[in-house]
Amino acid sequence: MSTIVVSAYRTPTLPMPRLIASAAQHRPAGLDEHERLYGPTPLRGRPRGRRAAKGLIDLVERSGLTGRGGAGFPTARKMRSVASRSGPAVVIANGAEGEPASVKDRLLLTRAPHLILDGIALAAYAVGANEAFLCVHAQEVDVLATLEDAVAERAGARLDAVPVQVTGIPGRYVSSEQSALVQYLNGGPGKPTFSPPRPHERGVNGRPTLVNNVETLAHLALIARYGDNWFRSVGLASAPGSTLVTVDGAVARPGVYEIAMGTPLGQVMLQAGGPSEPLQALLVGGYFGAWLPAETAWPVPMTHAGLKAAGGAMGAGIIVALPATSCALAETARVVSYLAEETAAQCGPCMFGLPALADALIDLAYEGGRGRAIDQIATLIPLIERRGACRHPDGATQLVVSALTAFAADARRHDRQGPCPGVRRAPLLPVPRDEDREWDWA
Amino acid sequence: MGLGMRYRLRVNPIACSGHGMCAELLPEIIEIDPWGFPILASPGVPPGLMGHAKRAVDACPTLALLMEEITDQAR
Amino acid sequence: MSFSLHGPGLWYATRAAGLVTMLLLTCSVLLGVLTAGRFAGDRWPRFVTVGLHRNLSLMVLVFLAVHIVTIVIDTFTSIPLAAAFIPFATTYKTGWTALGAIALDLLVVLTATSLIRNRLGYRTWRWVHWLAYLCWPVALAHGLGMGTDRRTLWVVELTVACIAIVAGAAFWRVVSAARAGAR
């Protein structure tokens, strides 16, 4: 997508949108505007006691906030595991949105930076951190500039006890993984590391480190102001609150939408203006997500559990609508080729397995007709999944398995007869061009 | 995990560079994939194979094979 | 002293033990290079290479101990035990003996770090182990410099053979690493 279109869609009964209330203005909300919209920053003048910090974590637990970066891990539990360790902690706000098809974090960072910075201050207070980093890919210079301005504004108003260090990280796909962020901040190249230890045990400079997605921290900023009941007034009891989703592909109004957790996929699609042409499937969860056939996708609720039960994955809330005239196998082959190029090249099964998988998929999608490709893919999958140090290979295999499940008939046809006419259609799923990938390891 | 198994093996995939000595010394548990890297068929080490497993851990040129005690908490 | 410590017997023992040490050390270096270069044959599994490397290295220490003990208790020369570890601690062919002490010190470090490899961590151990490429030539220079058997043909041939083995192994390693890198 070249532009971000934001919906100011509101249903009459829900007080939405929450996070992107100011986002329609196409410029970052300054500190005054931010406080006018949401109320004063919660920590201003608040006494800094351990009791109150524990109370904040309890509040987060009651609200049921889970991570919005893709894993959906309960935020309060993460905070507790950092807070319970001795010594000063570190907070890392992960704004490095590596997924090419996702722009929700970019939207938040460029339109509502103070929400995120409020969240960082609160998280630092809750876990007893004295250092905080806000990480964004280094090539996003406009985002970095906006954030520096926002931090300077807050410094002028002496808002934050813990200064936030806005940091540009390598542009590689895996550099936004939490252990890679920790490694980079410790002076390394920004590649995922083997665990133990996990960041919450020993992270930046050996200290317990909390890593949260920026959207999660934005929700935290509002929970601290309005409370857990307010947060839970939207969404499901098992999956409360709102979440940002990026909707792209064959829809009338692609863009970032804020939806209640548990909204059925069909309703999200309607919010985005509905399909612009007949669809065959939805890719949900991004490149580490899964394909859902259009016939079965409509009623599936947007929650981690709901999507998993339907054979999908929520990921970082990405939905791409695939038209009927496209070839899903060709799209998948392109994505897996990209993922194969973006390995950290540290673990043998991933750095050799993903290119082999990509080759088999390209064979199936574009050459086809030799009856071998599906078997080859089936042999490769168990040799790749769960054999790397991070989840990169698992994300790729999950995508491939879901493609061969959702498009089993197409795959068989490709394998036996040859490519379908859909491969000639212009590619839909965004993959950064080689020229744009001028980045490298630190 | 089977009964009586207190230890399990784990490969550090970043340290592993596919020397393959572990598979030579412990073929009961470790196989080599088409690219030279170890696959642990079942990570738990039966008590009878402990000696061989320790030797395999010792022999790894990059210290990538690890022996861990199995705790009760789920991973 | 109730037995003769200044006959030629001890002197021969020292030189013999020294030559065996040189031979074993050469084989150890060879096996180390083969390990790193992933050498394997049809009937020669990888673990044999690394196992032999380890055992031969420990044997080196045994023969080195014989070499040192025999020269220290030999009354013909008055080399103190300290000179085996501390360079320049004796007046007997000071420089060449010093090389022997340096080689021994390096060997002790190499062995100690290898024995506690698990606790040390791979990167530290590897970094220290590069000293093996310093230890071997220093040991060889010590043997040549001491000069006792420089005029004995088979000793010269043995020394040349050891040099050829290590040079050949190093060459093989460099070539196969370059080929692997080009792939």
pLDDT at C11: 85
* pLDDT tops 80 at residue A96: yes
Report whether B21 contacts B61 (CB < 8 A). yes
pLDDT digits (tens, 9 = 90+) for C75-99: 777 888 888 899 988 777 888 889 9
User: Does the beta carbon of C50 lie under 8 angstroms from any beta carbon of chain B?
Assistant: yes
Q: Measured between alpha carbons, how far is A234 from A221 in angstroms, rounded to an integer?
A: 16
Q: For residues C96 and A210, which has the higher predicted lDDT (pLDDT)?
A: A210
User: Could you tell me the pLDDT band of residue A42, with boundaries at 50, 70 and 90?
Assistant: confident
User: Does the beta carbon of B63 lie under 8 angstroms from any beta carbon of chain C?
Assistant: yes
pLDDT digits (tens, 9 = 90+) for A352-372: 999 999 999 999 999 876 888
pLDDT at B72: 67
* pLDDT tops 50 at residue A11: no
Q: For residues C114 and A17, which has the higher predicted lDDT (pLDDT)?
A: C114
Report whether A135 contacts A147 (CB < 8 A). no
Domains in chain C, number: 1
SS3 at position B42: coil
User: Could you tell me the pLDDT band of residue C176, with boundaries at 50, 70 and 90?
Assistant: confident
- The residue type found at A236 is L
Subunit contact B24:C47, Cβ cutoff 8 A: yes
User: Looking at chain A from residue 177 to 236, which residues have their Cβ under 8 Å from any Cβ of chain B?
Assistant: 193-194
Subunit contact A347:B13, Cβ cutoff 8 A: yes
Average pLDDT for A123-150: 95
Range of the domain at C78: 8-182
Q: What is the side-by-side order of every strand in the sheet holding A164-169?
A: A164-169, A129-137, A89-94, A209-213
User: Does the beta carbon of B66 lie under 8 angstroms from any beta carbon of chain A?
Assistant: no
Instruction: Give the contacts of C164 (CB within 8 A, at least 6 positions apart).
Output: none
Touching A (3+ Cβ pairs <8 A), the chains are B
Instruction: Indicate contact of C with B: 3+ CB pairs under 8 A.
Output: yes
Q: For residues C75 and A389, which has the higher predicted lDDT (pLDDT)?
A: A389
pLDDT at A44: 66
User: Does the beta carbon of B23 lie under 8 angstroms from any beta carbon of chain C?
Assistant: no
User: Could you tell me the pLDDT band of residue A45, with boundaries at 50, 70 and 90?
Assistant: low
pLDDT at A8: 37
Q: Candidates 1.10.600.10, 3.30.70.20, 3.40.718.10, 3.30.420.40; correct CATH number of B7-69?
A: 3.30.70.20
Q: For residues A439 and C26, which has the higher predicted lDDT (pLDDT)?
A: C26
Bond before A197 cis per omega within 30 degrees: yes
Residue B19 has its nearest CB partner, among C46, C117, C118, at C46
Average pLDDT for C112-119: 92
Taken in order of first residue, the domains within chain A and their CATH numbers are 23-232 (3.40.50.11540), 328-424 (1.20.1440.230)
Q: Report yes or no on C1 lying in a domain.
A: no
pLDDT digits (tens, 9 = 90+) for B18-53: 999 999 999 999 999 999 999 998 889 999 999 999
Q: Report yes or no on C108 lying in a domain.
A: yes
Mean of per-residue pLDDT scores for chain A? 89
* pLDDT tops 60 at residue A250: yes
Q: Measured between alpha carbons, how far is A161 from C37 in angstroms, rounded to an integer?
A: 55
Q: Where in chain B are the domains?
A: 7-69
* pLDDT tops 80 at residue C173: yes
User: Could you tell me the pLDDT band of residue A36, with boundaries at 50, 70 and 90?
Assistant: confident
SS3 at position A216: helix
pLDDT digits (tens, 9 = 90+) for B35-44: 999 999 888 9
* pLDDT tops 70 at residue A442: no
User: Could you tell me the pLDDT band of residue A10, with boundaries at 50, 70 and 90?
Assistant: very low
Average pLDDT for C20-47: 92
pLDDT at A38: 86
Q: From B26, which residue of chain C is nearest by alpha-carbon distance?
A: C47
Residue B14 has its nearest CB partner, among A194, A352, A383, at A194
Considering only CB atoms, which chain A residues are within 8 Å of B14?
193-194, 346-347, 389
Mean of per-residue pLDDT scores for chain C? 89
Average pLDDT for A169-194: 94
Average pLDDT for C20-46: 92
Average pLDDT for A90-100: 93
User: Could you tell me the pLDDT band of residue A54, with boundaries at 50, 70 and 90?
Assistant: confident
Closest C-alpha to A347, from A383, A397, A401: A383
CB burial of A114-136 (b: ≥16 within 10 Å; e: otherwise) equals bbbbbbbbbbbbbbbbebbbbbb
Q: Report yes or no on C173 lying in a domain.
A: yes
User: Could you tell me the pLDDT band of residue A181, with boundaries at 50, 70 and 90?
Assistant: very high
Residue % of chain A over a pLDDT of 90 = 72
* pLDDT tops 50 at residue A1: no
Side-chain-facing half-sphere of C170: CA atoms under 13 Å = 13
What is the phi/psi pair of residue C62, to 5°?
-65, -50
Question: SS3 helix, strand, coil % of chain A, rounded to 5?
Answer: 45, 15, 40
Average pLDDT for A377-382: 95
User: Which range in A308-317, A373-382, A413-422 is most confidently predicted, on average pLDDT?
Assistant: A373-382
Residue B59 has its nearest CB partner, among C36, C38, C47, at C47
Subunit contact C46:B21, Cβ cutoff 8 A: yes
pLDDT at C146: 86
DSSP per-residue string spanning A161-192 = SS-EEEEEE---GGGGSHHHHHHHHTTS-S--
pLDDT digits (tens, 9 = 90+) for A275-303: 999 999 999 999 989 999 998 999 999 99
* C2 to C5, C66, C76: CA distances (angstroms): 9, 21, 16
Average pLDDT for A344-349: 94
The gap between the terminal CA atoms of chain B, to the nearest Å, is 13
